[in-house]
Amino acid sequence: MKSNDTNRWRTIDIVVASVIAVAFGVIFWAWNLVWSATDAAFAFFPPAQTLIYGVWLVPAVLGGLVIRKPGAALYCETVAAILSALLGSQWASITIVQGVMQGIGAELAFAAFRYRSFRLPAAVLAGALTGVSAAVFDFVYWNTETDLASYRLPYALLTVVSSTIVAGVGGWALTRALANTGALDRFPAGRERAAI
């Protein structure tokens, strides 16, 4: 098989990526409510709320790990963000721009591995870079009026920590769990489950 053929999306790739994205779009809608409900719990140090941020970044990493084709991370994160906005995100349509930025972060990580390694280090890097892209977006869009040292820098750092653990390690663990059920047998992630 030519290398160009391995990067082509099959119908099943599109369907599964869409299922991941739609499932997480609904999860995003619920997580938006969790985020708002936890404001008071983090009043002691508001940037700490970003420790739960990583959930919003899981589809970028999961999509990349499952589909393993250029554009999968970007597609899953963007479609999930679109659905979240359509379901009534309190942040409205700007969440779509955020989704694109976050998807690009994970996509860069998989590209750095030339779409050839999908093991834990690739997942961790994808989680970290999607967190960096989220933190940069928030830094220049949402948090411009806040103090640099006491809010913006800790917010950015904790966003990256959350995304590395929740989206990176969590996305890798979720891929393994799905592979062990046989649900991913039509994908390389499912066929190599014994080797992971």
**DSSP class per residue in 15-49:** HHHHHHHHHHHHHHHHHHHHHHHTTGGGTTSGGGG
Half-sphere exposure of residue 146, counting CA atoms within 13 Å on the CB side? 16
pTM of the model: 0.93
pLDDT of residue 5: 67
Domains of the chain: 11-190 (1.10.1760)
**pLDDT average, residue stretch 79-102:** 93
**pLDDT tens digits along 19-46:** 999 999 999 999 999 999 999 999 999 9
pLDDT of residue 196: 47
153 pLDDT higher than 80: yes
